[in-house]
Amino acid sequence: MIFETHAHYDDKAFEKDRDDLLKSLPENGIGAVVNAGSDLSSIGKIQKLTKKYPYVYGAAGIHPCDTGDLTEERFAWLKKQCDDEKIVAVGEIGLDYHWNDPHPDIQKKWFVRQLLLAQEVRLPVIIHSREAANDTLTIMRENHAEKSGGVIHCFSYSAEMAAEFLKMDYYFGIGGVITFENAKKLKEAVRCIPIERILLETDSPYLAPSPYRGKRNSSLYLPYIAEAVGRIKEMTGEEVIRRTQENAERLFGVACVR
Ligand code: NI
């Protein structure tokens, strides 16, 4: 079955049909979902979804763009949520320099704190890194991010950069962008990343694959991503689904429903 390693079903884009959609996932071949945290308010919503659906898991973490709201008190609360048995990762955490908001110093501070938190609570991390490759790598090295392990979600850097994250035994989340005609750099990176290190993800409701580009995304479109990865790795879509399921089960320590 397909292991969806990154989605945001707490997002308001799913307000009208969230339950119908989540209910329909197993019959459509989706055996597990990790719903990533974004801002502080997302985490309670995610926990509710994980209680309702046995195959939905959560990640607790604050997205770099939302770290401006973090305080010591809120961070202590976040840490407590990691004890929840359905929380399987700390994320998404990282650096996003696209809008420069909040200031990179604030983003870096909370990236470090959340990396160390993951090591303390013994969970892998889900890393969001946009236009910040070198700082991401430096902070990960300085703070021994190889101890928690994790995934670089929506990987968008070069093959050379992939080689650096591979040295730390990280996984790579590959999503809808791989289906785009003009994604040359990403296709080259995927060619270089061993299949043992690839995870499938959508980042729903964002980044829908071709032929749904620009529409609301959902885990139901994952077969298009598997096919695109398969074309690069000279494998069938089914083989990609099987291998990436094993990878995700190994990283997050939970299994797809049968
Ligand atoms: Ni995300």
Write out 56-105 in H/E/C secondary structure: EEEECCCCHHHHHHCCHHHHHHHHHHCCCCCEEEEEEEEEECCCCCCCHH
pLDDT at position 29, please?
98
Q: What is the pLDDT of residue 157?
A: 96
Global pTM reads 0.97
Q: Residue 6 C-alpha to ligand 1 middle, in angstroms?
A: 6
Q: What is the pLDDT of residue 257?
A: 92
Residues with CB under 5 A from ligand 1 (ion): 36, 203
pLDDT interval class at 180 (50, 70, 90): very high
Spacing, Cα 138 to ligand 1 middle (Å): 22
Helix 237-252, helix 222-233: angle, nearest 10: 110
Contacts of 219 (CB under 8 A, 6+ apart): 2, 4, 7, 25, 30, 33, 202, 204
State the distance from the centre of ligand 1 to the C-alpha of 73, rounded, in angstroms: 24
Each residue of 170-185: b (16+ CB within 10 Å) or e? bbbbbbbbbbeeebee
Measured CA to CA, the distance from residue 144 to residue 90 in angstroms comes to: 15
Q: Which fold is adopted by the domain 2-252?
A: TIM Barrel (3.20.20)
| Contact residues for 7 (Cβ-Cβ < 8 A; gap 6+) | 33, 34, 35, 36, 201, 202, 203, 204, 218, 219
Q: Phi/psi at 226 (nearest 5 deg)?
A: -60, -40
**Higher pLDDT pick, 224 / 100:** 224
pLDDT of 140 over the 90 cut: yes
Backbone phi and psi for residue 202, each to the nearest 5 degrees, phi listed first: -115, -35
Q: How many Cβ atoms sit within 10 Å of the Cβ of residue 249?
A: 15
Question: Rg of the chain over CA atoms, in angstroms?
Answer: 17
Residue 171 has pLDDT above 90, yes or no: yes
The whole-number pLDDT of residue 134 equals: 97
Q: What is the pLDDT of residue 258?
A: 79
Q: How far apart are CA 227 and CA 234, in angstroms?
A: 10
Tokens of 48: 């509710």
Task: Respond yes or no on whether the N-terminal peptide bond of residue 64 is cis (omega within 30° of 0).
Answer: no
Average pLDDT over residues 215-230: 98
CA of 28 to the centre of ligand 1 (A): 22
Rounded CA-CA distance 257/109 in Å is: 38
Query: pLDDT for 39-61, tens place per residue?
Result: 999 999 999 999 999 999 999 99
DSSP one-letter code for 9: T
Average pLDDT over residues 218-244: 98
Q: Which amino acid makes up residue 85? A: E
What is the 87 CA–ligand 1 centroid distance (Å)?
Answer: 16
| pLDDT, tens digit (0-9, with 9 covering 90-100), for 100-119 | 899 999 999 999 999 999 99
User: DSSP class of residue 11?
Assistant: S
- Token pair listed for 243: 């291998």
- CB contact set of 27 (below 8 Å; sequence gap of 6+): none
| Percent above pLDDT 90 for the chain | 99
Residue 7 CA to ligand 1 center (angstroms) comes to: 6
